[in-house]
Amino acid sequence: MTESPALAASAPPRSAAHKKYDFSRKYWVFALPAVIVVLSVIVFPWLFTVFMSVHDWKIGGGMDFVGLGNFRTLVFDDRFRESLLITFYFTVLAVVIPIVLGTLAALVFHREFPFRGILRTIFVMPMMATPVAVALVWKMMFHPQLGVLNYLLSLFGIPPSEWVFSTSTVIPTLVMVEVWHWTPLVMLILLGGLAGMPTEPYESAKIDGANSWQMFRFITLPLLWPYIMIALVIRTIDALKVFDIIFVISEGGPGTASETLNIFLYLQAFQFYKLGYSSAVVVIFFTIIVALSLILLYVRQKTKWNS
Amino acid sequence: MTDKFTSDVTRRHLLKTGASLGVLGAVGAPAIISAANAQSSFNWKQAAGQQIDVMLVKNPRSDLLQAAEKEFTELTGIKVSSEQIPEQQQRQKAMIEFSSGRPTFDVTMLALHVQKRLAYKGKWVEDLRPFIDNPAITNPNFDLADFSAAGMNFARQADGALTTIPHFVDFWMLYYNKEMFDKKGVAYPTSMENIVKVAQQLNDPANGIYGFVSRGLKNANIPVWTSWLLGQGLETIDPATGKLNTDGEAAIWAATLYRDLNKNYAPPGTIGFNWNECQTSFMQGRAAMWLDGIGFATPLEDPTKSKVVGKVGYGVTPPGPKAHHSATFADGMGISRASTKKTAAWLYIQFMTGKKEQIAMLKAGAGCPARMSAFADPEATKSSTFSKQYFDCLQASAKIGRPGLPQIIPVTEFRDIFGVALTNTLSGADPAAELKKATETFKPVLEKSEQG
């Protein structure tokens, strides 16, 4: 940032007033509002959460320093460990399935065919709906006796399902809602990727006699990887923090069968009012999300076209 | 009636009646005039010009309270700013604002079965006894003795402090489909064990009809279990000694009954049912019996929502092997300790828990009022959409009401831990083992809450 001697020599002499108000040294003033906002809404809450996580603090009660006591308790808490497993189970399904279906949808909608615009709009519509409203509608449809889904199954001679009212089917059913809701987002990201692809590799491949599968496998997919990685990062973070849909549809039940980390956290913080304990959960959860995001971003760097 | 009346009336009868009325008038008039004077001398306008903030829970009873605000303002000159908040959020708001020491409301509705001990220990609300004892601020017609024992039991703390005035009391009872019972010639169950037999007789899954339905969702399912446990003469936590009665023989018996009914005779998916799913099943004629609070009755008699209008029987919870009780829940109104408008707040509570408003609640089918006099009002029962059996069930349940949840601070933890245990029994877990594990998990939580 220091001026070069040549530049300094050619510059006109500064007036006394200009010297008095040396604006070049006060640029930080313009950054100050942003710094204050970041400090107050990101840094301070974070430091305070970490502070709370090392205290035994319940709303309405006293605050005692317990060091890593909350973290130790969490390690031996069966419900916490179970919720961690459920979260990963849910996340894997809620990421992989939309990625696969979204890729297929993007490949289909990338081609020219009649009514493509209308059909693409219809396909994107679930994404526009509010999650809580979506959850309420699905909940009604899942009713084992009166829901429309079991009626539709009966039309095909398929026995009724208990959907979210069974411990064995609740997670796959919740994943189904997530897939319906967020596959269009993956499709939109990948459509953007497909639209920006060069045509030359395909022309060369055709000349070399490559078939459609070979062109997809060796040209489209490698070129699409960076975009798939973006979709993967977004979907992973989204799936890890899903709360609304699960809370409205199953409330973490039956029993604790769909109690993800977020539902567990909500219970501890807003039902049992254990601020210290729930803050410890937040710290662990944040660490997991950051670690996963870093891994995915690292992989994304590796899949860049220019590398 | 009219013919008999006219034929029996003679000149002598009229003279006798007139004379009697004259005597009664001479004796009773001073008392009536005195009461009327007291009423008219009570100064409702003493806090005129003030405005109070009221926090309510979202439900039909709060709609009635808000509808009555205009009349209250005309009578007292006090303006009311009230807000209805959904149940769970209202409890969170109360907890956070009271803990902050500066709540934004003067009057609050409290769910006494959840917040009673918490509110007292946290010094959230005023002890209302000094208010009641002060004739300058208490309407002589307030009549505290009119409130049901079940409601007062909830409102009064262990040391006698009265921190709220009960507004609504909910009794758990057994809804049953009279048409289904008549069709199969089955009589209303005479005991808790008999419910299983009746459910078995009425169960017809091939035709989409199930013998029984009740809540299976964790947390929400606790009152089902405690209803059965009350049949053993026990509450989950002994109110006198604080001893946990949650893993003994009686508790296991109640959990087994819960499991058998919900697993063998309830609709598929009952494990995830809250009251609304149960209500839907019953309302659509898919369940013969439904154990729940009487406060959920209104839609059952609404032809736009229900297929069982006029077919609903309202039965008192059948007796258990050792006792006969109805699990009871209640809401009450309290004055925030931090309020600076306590007199205005107290006038609001008196008005809103007054006889007129309580009768309005009964008439609207918005729930069971805490005042017993509401049931004696012929207008309330005559103009209601409910049958006489509904009111009989209410009154009979009021006589045998007993708290359906333990009166402890960590009620939510209790409901969560034991709720999961009960739900697990529906997935095949052993009731005794689940209750033992839940009791061990909950014991330190309870002990800590008593110390802290």
The C-alpha atoms of residue B199 and residue A90 are separated, in whole angstroms, by 38
Q: Which residues of B touch A (CB under 8 A)?
A: 92, 95-96, 98-99, 118, 122, 208, 216-219, 267-273, 277, 280-281, 284, 286, 410, 412-413, 416, 420, 423-424, 426-427, 452
B26 inside domain: no
Tell me which of B124, B258, B271, B306 to substitute to probe the interface with A (most A C-beta atoms closer than 10 Å): B271
What pLDDT is stored for residue B382 in this prediction?
78
d(CA A266, CA A284) in angstroms, rounded, equals: 15
Given this model, what pLDDT does residue B389 score? Answer: 93
Q: What is the pLDDT of residue A58?
A: 87
Cα B307 to Cα A292: distance, rounded to the nearest angstrom: 52
CB-based contact B270 A165, cutoff 8 Å: yes
Give the rounded distance of the alpha carbon of A238 from its chain centre. Answer: 2
Q: Which residue has the higher pLDDT, A20 or B420?
A: B420
Strand partners, B174: B291, B315
Structural domain contains residue B23 = no
Q: Which residues of B touch A272 (CB under 8 A)?
A: 410, 412-413, 416
Decide which of 3.40.50.1820, 1.10.3720.10, 2.40.128.110, 2.60.40.3500 is the CATH code for A77-302.
1.10.3720.10
Residues of chain B with pLDDT under 50: 1-11, 14-15, 17-38
pLDDT value at residue B105: 96
Question: Within a domain: residue B266?
Answer: yes
- CA torsion A149-A154-A156-A159 (nearest 10°) is 100
Separation between Cα atoms, residue B202 and residue B213, nearest integer Å? 12
Average pLDDT over residues A218-229: 91
Asked if B78 and B50 count as a contact pair (C-beta separation under 8 A), the reply is: yes
What residues of A are in contact with residue B219 (Cβ under 8 Å)? Answer: 251
- Owning domain of residue B140: 46-169+329-392
Residues B146, B236 share a domain: no
Distance CA B433, CA B440 (A): 11
Q: What pLDDT does B449 receive?
A: 84
Please report whether residue B21 resides in a domain: no
CA distance A120 to A163: 29
Looking at A292-296, A303-307, B358-362, which range is the least confident one?
A303-307
- pLDDT, tens digit, for every residue of B282-305? 999 999 999 999 988 988 998 999
Whether residue B264 sits in one domain with residue B182: yes
Is B143 in a helix, a strand, or coil? coil
Domain count, chain B: 2
Average the pLDDT over A217-233 and give the result.
Answer: 91
Using DSSP's 3-state secondary structure scheme, residue B234 falls into coil
| Pairing of β B165-177 and β B326-335 | antiparallel
Sequence spans of domains, chain A: 17-70, 77-302
Contact criterion met (CB below 8 Å) for B374 and B361: yes
Asked if residue B242 is part of any domain, the answer here is: yes
What per-residue confidence (pLDDT) applies to B26? 47
Chain A, nearest residue to B88 by Cα? A271
From the centroid of its chain, how far is CA A91?
10
Return d(Cα B285, Cα B212) in angstroms, integer. Answer: 11
pLDDT tens profile A135-160 = 999 999 998 888 999 999 999 999 99
Q: Which residues of A touch B118 (CB under 8 A)?
A: 60
* Chain A residues touching residue B413 (CB < 8 angstroms): 272
pLDDT at B286: 94
Looking at the fold, whether B236 and B365 belong to one and the same domain comes out as: no
Distance from C-alpha of A272 to C-alpha of B118, rounded to nearest angstrom = 12
pTM of the model: 0.82
Q: B423 vs A253: CB contact, 8 Å cut-off?
A: yes
What local confidence, expressed as pLDDT, does residue B10 receive? 46
One domain, residues B208 and B225: yes
Q: What is the CATH number of the domain that holds B262?
A: 3.40.190.10
The verdict on B131 and B244 lying in the same domain is: no
B410 in Cβ contact with B445 (< 8 Å): yes
At A242-264, the pLDDT tens digits run 999 999 999 998 999 999 999 99
Q: pLDDT at position B2, please?
A: 36
CB contact under 8 A, A143 and B269: yes
Q: Do A254 and B284 touch (CB under 8 A)?
A: no
CB B113 within 8 A of CB B405: yes
Spatial distance between the Cα atoms of B300 and B307, rounded to a whole number of angstroms? 8
Q: How far apart are CA B224 and CA B291, in angstroms?
A: 7
d(CA A247, CA B292): 23
Of B286, B410, B427, the CB nearest to A255: B427
In the prediction, which pLDDT does B28 show?
A: 47
Based on the fold, state whether residues B60 and B163 are members of the same structural domain. yes
Chain A residues with a Cβ under 8 Å from any Cβ in chain B: 58-62, 143-146, 160, 162-167, 170, 250-256, 267, 270-273
**Number of inter-chain CB pairs under 8 A, A vs B:** 80
Helices (H), chain A: 5-10, 16-20, 28-38, 44-53, 69-75, 78-110, 116-128, 131-142, 148-155, 170-195, 200-207, 212-215, 221-240, 244-249, 261-266, 275-302
ipTM of the complex: 0.78
